[in-house]
Amino acid sequence: MTALYDVAGIGNAIVDVIAQCDDAFLAKEGLTKGSMALIDPARAGTLYDAMAAGIEASGGSVANTMAGIASFGGKAAYIGKVADDQLGRVFRHDMKAIGCVFTTPALAEGPATAQSLINVTPDAQRTMSTYLGACVELTSADVDPEIIEAAQISYLEGYLFDPPEARRAFAKAAALAHGSGRKIAMTLSDSFMVDRHRSALLPFIETQCDIVFANDAEVCSLFETDDFDAAVKALAERCEIAAITRGEKGSIAASSGQLYEISAYPVEKVVDTTGAGDQYAAGFLYGLSQGLPLPVCGQLGSLAAAEVIDHYGPRPQVNLRELAAKNGL
Amino acid sequence: MTALYDVAGIGNAIVDVIAQCDDAFLAKEGLTKGSMALIDPARAGTLYDAMAAGIEASGGSVANTMAGIASFGGKAAYIGKVADDQLGRVFRHDMKAIGCVFTTPALAEGPATAQSLINVTPDAQRTMSTYLGACVELTSADVDPEIIEAAQISYLEGYLFDPPEARRAFAKAAALAHGSGRKIAMTLSDSFMVDRHRSALLPFIETQCDIVFANDAEVCSLFETDDFDAAVKALAERCEIAAITRGEKGSIAASSGQLYEISAYPVEKVVDTTGAGDQYAAGFLYGLSQGLPLPVCGQLGSLAAAEVIDHYGPRPQVNLRELAAKNGL
């Protein structure tokens, strides 16, 4: 069966609140630079009160990736849970506006749409404090077989390993995808998530994931090692394709015993690294869905990441298909 | 009595939704480039559906100016009406976070917080379609004498000439300010507003306004002429200080028969002109409140305008006090 979608994503549907801060603010608020911490509504209230004025933008790691894939011209679909509130309507609008199919019903009652309070330091690092709200109400029932079975690749957000019901949704998605001869990709999302769920995550990767995305901290956390090369090798042995990002050092794509080093695109001034990994995955997955060689997939990822770190906000502000064409990709 | 506030503003409390579009989109939606049109909730829904994915940022012309004044280090207060909803809380947070006093109670029941749907074309022009929502519920009761009487200058948003009750709020503010030996400033906001209310606006300017801000289109509309110089002269005769902006051609400050030409600051790449006039007013009013000469007030305005058109969003992303110091102002 030909695929109706290039990539379908399942993730936390989040609206980002992005503000500038200094290192002293992170220290005072007890925040670990570059990390993602889960917070409850009370903490979200006090932290927001303390934050600088910001902008709001639809976010959510895998949702950002889907936006990137759509911007490359790929056919994208998304599954995630928002509430029936103003920010939920913003999130839904933005997904549809970028051309991504998003039909998961909004939560009628209960918690608000998720918000990630993102503090960006002058070194462009983002520190995220996320109130998951409606996201954790995602269930297997939301995993629409008509989407997963019709997608070349289904892409799972590691953050969803936290809520048990969402993990069941992942199992359903993997069964549906593989039953239809499709691929499952996953991002490890966050080294603390990896640390929390290592024992469940490793078998899930080995048995259910064809393609795995991670950054250096996440892959090292997964194998509890400081030896980056060993961690990359260990991950590559456990899946078909591994793609590991390393910030300005570029990325590595590994498959069938081959390693490809991919350099980062130069950026004049890095403003906000929010969404860098998400857009790398967008370029990479879009390339895979078009049957491009792995090094080219990696270059598309690098290009999309370079675009997004050049401005505030986690999604592309230019058409990535045109940007790729301009860059000869 | 020494002033507790440098500037107090009364305006439409709006959250902006900013998205990119092309000229064909404006034509298809029947929008006049560079203008501000008022829309009802139904039209807001259909226009939003048609718009590209965007970002949300607190806006509102005079609120943007107050944010700029606070960023210069000025003591700012704001009066405006939001609803008790998610976007209202975002607006309130952003005002407080930037250091602007904002105590107007939220509307408990009724319309939602105002939204301005802003479409930005590749030439960086912004076209605004505004659903006023809770804004039009602003009444004289919201004009807090403790704020107006304690502010060196009270700054009124011309857009508020539309709702009759808000116009009564202006009259109250002017009486309070002048009764305490303070000044009233006003921005003409929009040439269509000027056209709608010319006959009421002219006497209000002549009898109640000490300082008037306008752009070239607005001042020409006020006096129904194409002769810019004549319009500037006519405005200058009717108030103590007139400040007229002309985009990349800079601005003119007029007072006591003297005209000062102020050039615009060079900008590498203009991204989004939203907020340019608002930030010009911020620099100008901050300068006035510090007793600086008019040409310096204008230069502060030009500098703040140059900062804001360099990025999406209507408020400064850098500290304007530091930016001014760097530029020897």
- Cα distances (Å, whole numbers) of residue A15 to A60, A117, A119: 7, 9, 14
Q: Which residues of B touch A67 (CB under 8 A)?
A: 53
Q: Of all residues in chain A, what percent carry a pLDDT higher than 70?
A: 100
Answer whether residue B27 is part of any domain: no
Q: What is the pLDDT of residue B41?
A: 94
ipTM: 0.90
Q: Which of B53, B19, B21 has the alpha carbon at shortest distance from A63?
A: B53
Helix (H) or strand (E) holding B126: strand B126-131
**Partner-chain contact B55 A53, CB within 8 Å:** no
Q: Which residues contact B270 (CB under 8 A, 6 or more apart)?
A: B124, B309, B310
Distance, in Å, from the CA atom of B123 to the CA atom of A219, rounded to the nearest integer, reads 44
Answer whether residue B145 is part of any domain: yes
Distance, in Å, from the CA atom of A15 to the CA atom of A18, rounded to the nearest integer, reads 10
Answer whether residue B250 is part of any domain: yes
Specify the length of chain A in residues.
329
Q: Which residues of B touch A49 (CB under 8 A)?
A: 93
Q: Does the pLDDT value for residue B185 go beyond 90?
A: yes
Q: Which of B255, B252, B170 has the alpha carbon at shortest distance from B215?
A: B252
φ/ψ of A109, rounded to 5, equals: -135, 155
Q: Of all residues in chain A, what percent carry a pLDDT higher than 90?
A: 93
**Partner-chain contact A55 B55, CB within 8 Å:** yes
Q: Would you call B58 an interface residue with chain A, using a CB distance cutoff of 8 Å?
A: yes
pLDDT per position as a tens digit, B245-271: 999 999 999 999 999 999 999 998 898
Q: Does the pLDDT value for residue B233 go beyond 70?
A: yes
Q: What is the pLDDT of residue B128?
A: 96
For residue A97, give the nearest of B52, B311, B313 by CB distance.
B52
Q: Does the pLDDT value for residue B1 go beyond 70?
A: no
Q: Would you call B41 an interface residue with chain A, using a CB distance cutoff of 8 Å?
A: no
Distance, in Å, from the CA atom of A300 to the CA atom of A308, rounded to the nearest integer, reads 13
**Cα(first)–Cα(last) distance of chain A, in Å?**
28
**DSSP secondary structure, A227-295, as one string:** -HHHHHHHHHHHSSEEEEE-GGG-EEEEETTEEEEEPPPP-S-----TTHHHHHHHHHHHHHHTT--HH
Q: What distance in Å separates residue B53's CA from the closest CA in chain A?
A: 4
Distance, in Å, from the CA atom of A139 to the CA atom of A172, rounded to the nearest integer, reads 10
Q: Would you call A112 an interface residue with chain B, using a CB distance cutoff of 8 Å?
A: yes
φ/ψ of B157, rounded to 5, equals: -90, 120
Answer whether residue A46 is part of any domain: no
Please give the structure tokens belonging to residue B14: 């709006």
Are the C-beta atoms of B143 and B161 separated by less than 8 Å? Answer: no
Range of the domain at A83: 5-14+61-106+138-326
Q: Which of B188, B182, B231, B234 has the alpha carbon at shortest distance from B212?
A: B188
Distance, in Å, from the CA atom of B189 to the CA atom of B97, rounded to the nearest integer, reads 25
Answer whether residue B226 is part of any domain: yes
Pairing status of strand A251-255 against strand B36-38:
unpaired
DSSP H stretches of helix in chain B: 23-28, 41-50, 61-71, 86-97, 145-148, 164-179, 191-208, 216-222, 228-238, 276-289, 294-308, 320-326
- Residue burial A187-207, b: 16+ Cβ < 10 Å; e: rest: bbbbbbbbeebeeebeebbee
Q: Would you call B25 an interface residue with chain A, using a CB distance cutoff of 8 Å?
A: no
Q: Which of A160, A161, A243, A245 has the alpha carbon at shortest distance from A201?
A: A161
Are the C-beta atoms of A153 and A253 separated by less than 8 Å? Answer: no
Q: Which residues of B touch A69 (CB under 8 A)?
A: none
Q: What is the pLDDT of residue A3?
A: 87
Q: Which of B218, B193, B186 has the alpha carbon at shortest distance from B11?
A: B186
Please name every residue paired with A102 in a beta bridge, in sequence order, or none if there are none: A78
For the segment B164-177, the average pLDDT, to the nearest whole number, is 96
Distance, in Å, from the CA atom of A329 to the CA atom of A295, rounded to the nearest integer, reads 11
**DSSP secondary structure, B2-42, as one string:** --SEEEEEE---EEEEEEE--HHHHHHTTPPTT-EEE--HH
The total number of structural domains in chain B stands at 1
Q: Does the pLDDT value for residue A1 go beyond 70?
A: no
Are the C-beta atoms of B19 and B115 separated by less than 8 Å? Answer: no
In the predicted model, what is the mean pLDDT of chain A? 96
Q: Can you give the CATH number for the domain in which B271 is found?
A: 3.40.1190.20
**Partner-chain contact A312 B315, CB within 8 Å:** no
**Partner-chain contact A56 B52, CB within 8 Å:** no
Angle, helices B61-71 vs B86-97, to 10°: value is 30
Answer whether residue A114 is part of any domain: no
Answer whether residue B117 is part of any domain: no
For residue B54, give the nearest of A51, A53, A94 by CB distance.
A94
pLDDT per position as a tens digit, A194-233: 999 999 999 999 999 999 999 999 999 999 999 999 999 9
Q: What is the pLDDT of residue A35?
A: 87
Distance, in Å, from the CA atom of B41 to the CA atom of B83, rounded to the nearest integer, reads 15
Model pTM score: 0.93
Q: What is the pLDDT of residue A312?
A: 86
Please name every residue paired with A127 in a beta bridge, in sequence order, or none if there are none: A119
DSSP H stretches of helix in chain A: 23-28, 41-50, 61-71, 86-97, 145-148, 164-179, 191-208, 216-222, 228-238, 276-289, 294-308, 320-326
Are the C-beta atoms of B285 and B291 separated by less than 8 Å? Answer: no
Answer whether residue B31 is part of any domain: no
**Cα(first)–Cα(last) distance of chain B, in Å?**
28
pLDDT per position as a tens digit, B84-97: 999 999 999 999 99
Chain A interface, mutation test: which of B14, B18, B25, B56, most A Cβ atoms within 10 Å?
A: B56
Q: Would you call A212 an interface residue with chain B, using a CB distance cutoff of 8 Å?
A: no
**Partner-chain contact A98 B313, CB within 8 Å:** no
Q: Which residues of B touch A90 (CB under 8 A)?
A: 17, 56
For the segment B41-58, the average pLDDT, to the nearest whole number, is 96
Are the C-beta atoms of B235 and B219 separated by less than 8 Å? Answer: yes
Are the C-beta atoms of B82 and B13 separated by less than 8 Å? Answer: yes
Question: Taking the alpha carbons of B93, B95, B97, B103 in that order, is the dihedral positive or negative?
Answer: negative
